[in-house]
Amino acid sequence: MVACPICGKAVKPRDINAHIDSGCASFIDTGSPPPTQQNGAPPQKPPASQKPSVSTFFQTPAAKKATAYLTPKVEPSPTLSFQPKTQSNGTSTPNPQPRKRSFEDIAPAIKEETELQTKVEDEQPAKKPKTNAFQKAAPLAERMRPKSLNDVCGQELVGPHGVLRSLIEQDRVPSMILWGGAGTGKTTIARCIASMVGCRFVEINSTSSGVTECRKIFAEARGELGLTGRKTIIFCDEIHRFSKSQQDVFLGPVESGQITLIGATTENPSFKVQNALLSRCRTFTLQKLTDEDILQILERALATEGPNYTPTDLVDSELLKYLSAFADGDARTALNLLELSMGLSTRPSITKEEIKSALTKTLVYDRAGDQHYDTISAFHKSVRGSDPDAALYYLARMLQSGEDPLYVARRMVVIASEDVGLADNSMLSLATAAYTAAEKIGMPECRIALAHATVALCFAPKSTRAYRGLNNAYAALREPGVAGLPIPIHLRNAPTKLMKELGYGDQYKYNPNYKEGRVVQEYLPEQLSGRTFLEDRDLGTEIDPGAWP
């Protein structure tokens, strides 16, 4: 029990405020005697330490803060009288007048306290918004990452009429594989999708995450789906770095719909993603960004980040166009180069040419990826088309990027037989010699021998007669029963007496024993008698209208 500071009656602690608000007429505890004080002193309000903990347990932090800072400590006034007023009928009622005066006395103190606190807050400097240290330390490419699909450049998939955009707007986001080169916006698109559909978003990287962590995320996704009905989007960057067995962990959750998987890869999913997982996901191909797309991204970044650097005239539209072509369709590379250029432009007495020379160009070529196969394919087809300029360009591009020269030399040996063939048999010897030279000499001198063989193969006449004849024979073997036809008995080898007794090799005509080696003898199995595989013509018969007048 506590004593009311106005009427002195016993009131339960939780009812004290309601008791005072009722004019000290209600919420009086008649079952317990009022608390007494020593020496007949008037009842005192118990100290805060004696208050039941339940009284503040359910208070909000804002209410506690208001109680701590806005309620002034007011000592009881000795001049105030809290004696109850006696009425004519002998009953006594609390006198509301002293209570009114008590609040009048408190009001100035509250006003003074509030004014003092306001003055202190005004004198303090305004707090600056906190900046995330990681965001501040992030490179320009990360700081300029688009926050919505409307800011994504160069990808019609997420454009106003894009297929993927329509699925996102209908909240029908399927599990998908985003296939595209570096810096084309795979991660950006995945994050924008998560923000638009309002799903729980978890981002992992195959280089640092394992199967155990993935299973933990799946369990959390099941719990989230069961409790709140909210699905989980898992974005797996570089998904091709997971082995085929590790990719199996995604099959069950994706098929049951517990998660929506968005995998990003720079490699061909047909070779790097397991077929079972690929069949459960839709594959979207991101286009390589054009120079105009890169220029638009750089102009936006310069307008946003340029004021943070000392303004100079060196970083202008001409330099931005240079950087756009320099980046080779990689927006991340372009933004990193822009950040480097803006930093260099603040140095005194530096010129634009010096900035350009400070930028190191790295050719985009992956010896283990699609660039590896695409470039060697372009080289082979340029030689086949007798275009020495294109062939030398692709040869230089591969060698400059660190391609194994023996790999190129082996391909030229193939070209010598596949494309030149019977039209000039000496090209096979030249290509083999070029391979030997590359093996013995190595780079950089062997590049000359490879160029020699490349140009010679381009100028040589072409004949695919032998190559097509071999392909015709392979085609015949795919016919039912052809691959297992018995060898003619007169062509069989007879190393043992038993085989000779069985007639192996009988009636075989040894050609050198005959004039000009000409004999009448069948060499094909009986079922293929008269079948021809080698054609009479060196090249095909189709006509390209643009190549003839």
Same domain, 347 and 234: no
Query: What pLDDT score was predicted for residue 440?
Result: 94
Kindly state whether residue 501 falls inside one of the protein's structural domains: no
Residue 543, helix vs strand vs coil: coil
51-67 mean pLDDT: 47
Q: Beta-carbon neighbour count of residue 218 at 10 Å?
A: 21
Query: What pLDDT score was predicted for residue 106?
Result: 58
Q: Using CA atoms, how far apart are residues 277 and 283, in angstroms rounded to an integer?
A: 11
Same domain, 308 and 394: no
Kindly state whether residue 83 falls inside one of the protein's structural domains: no
409-437 mean pLDDT: 95
Distances (CA, A) of 350 to 131, 314, 347: 32, 9, 6
Residues contacting residue 401 through CB under 8 Å, at least 6 positions apart: 363, 365, 367
Same domain, 275 and 150: yes
Kindly state whether residue 195 falls inside one of the protein's structural domains: yes
Same domain, 326 and 444: no
Query: What pLDDT score was predicted for residue 100?
Result: 46
Same domain, 59 and 4: yes
Query: What pLDDT score was predicted for residue 287?
Result: 87
207-217 mean pLDDT: 84
* pLDDT higher than 80, residue 137: no
Kindly state whether residue 104 falls inside one of the protein's structural domains: no
Query: What pLDDT score was predicted for residue 549?
Result: 67
For the chain, the domain total comes to 4
Bridge-partner residues for 265, per DSSP?
A: 179
Query: How, if at all, do strands 232-237 and 259-265 pair?
Result: parallel
Q: Beta-carbon neighbour count of residue 444 at 10 Å?
A: 9
Which of 224, 239, 233, 231 has the alpha carbon at shortest distance from 179? Answer: 239
* pLDDT higher than 50, residue 68: no
DSSP 545: G
Q: Using CA atoms, how far apart are residues 117 and 495, in angstroms rounded to an integer?
A: 114
Query: What pLDDT score was predicted for residue 32?
Result: 59
Kindly state whether residue 98 falls inside one of the protein's structural domains: no
Burial of residue 278 (CB within 10 Å: 0-12, 13-18, 19+) is middle
- Write out the residue range of the structural domain in which residue 449 sits: 370-463
* Residue type, position 194, single letter: A
**Which position has the higher pLDDT, 37 or 490?**
490
Same domain, 330 and 273: no
* pLDDT higher than 70, residue 134: no
Query: What pLDDT score was predicted for residue 136?
Result: 60
Which of 436, 369, 382, 429 has the alpha carbon at shortest distance from 409? Answer: 436
* Residue type, position 203, single letter: E
The answer to whether the predicted template modeling score (pTM) of the entire model surpasses 0.85 is: no
Which of 210, 219, 282, 212 has the alpha carbon at shortest distance from 243? Answer: 210
Same domain, 232 and 315: no
Q: Which of 358, 388, 411 is the last residue of a domain?
A: 358
- For the ranges 6-10, 41-45, 62-66, 67-71, the maximum mean pLDDT occurs at 6-10
- pLDDT tens for 250-261 read 998 898 888 999
Percent of the chain with pLDDT over 70: 77
Kindly state whether residue 148 falls inside one of the protein's structural domains: yes
CA 82 to chain centre: 75
Phi and psi angles of residue 178, each rounded to the nearest 5 degrees, phi first? -95, 115
What is the overall mean pLDDT for the chain? 79
Same domain, 333 and 457: no
| The Cα angle at residue 306 between residues 302 and 308, in degrees rounded to 5 | 150
* pLDDT higher than 90, residue 170: no
Kindly state whether residue 257 falls inside one of the protein's structural domains: yes
Q: HEC states along 381-407?
A: HHHHCCCHHHHHHHHHHHHHCCCCHHH
Burial of residue 362 (CB within 10 Å: 0-12, 13-18, 19+) is exposed
Distances (CA, A) of 255 to 49, 237, 258, 264, 313: 60, 20, 8, 19, 56
Query: Domain with 435 in it: what CATH number?
Result: 1.20.272.10
* Residue type, position 306, single letter: G
Query: What pLDDT score was predicted for residue 113?
Result: 65
Same domain, 250 and 151: yes
Same domain, 194 and 261: yes
55-72 mean pLDDT: 48
Which of 234, 233, 244, 238 has the alpha carbon at shortest distance from 277? Answer: 244
**Residues 200/221, Cβ–Cβ less than 8 Å:** yes
Q: Which of 285, 317, 337 is the last residue of a domain?
A: 285
Query: Domain with 171 in it: what CATH number?
Result: 3.40.50.300
Same domain, 165 and 275: yes
Element (H, E) at 100: helix 96-123
- pLDDT tens for 89-105 read 555 555 544 444 454 55
* pLDDT higher than 80, residue 218: yes
- For the ranges 25-29, 70-74, 140-144, the maximum mean pLDDT occurs at 140-144
* pLDDT higher than 90, residue 367: no
- For the ranges 133-137, 153-157, 193-197, 472-476, the maximum mean pLDDT occurs at 472-476
Half-sphere CA count of 427, side-chain side, radius 13 A: 26
Quick one: pLDDT band at residue 454, thresholds 50, 70, 90? very high
* pLDDT higher than 90, residue 501: no
- For the ranges 164-168, 240-244, 380-384, 476-480, the maximum mean pLDDT occurs at 380-384
Same domain, 308 and 376: no
Cis, peptide link before residue 444, omega less than 30° from 0:
yes
Kindly state whether residue 383 falls inside one of the protein's structural domains: yes
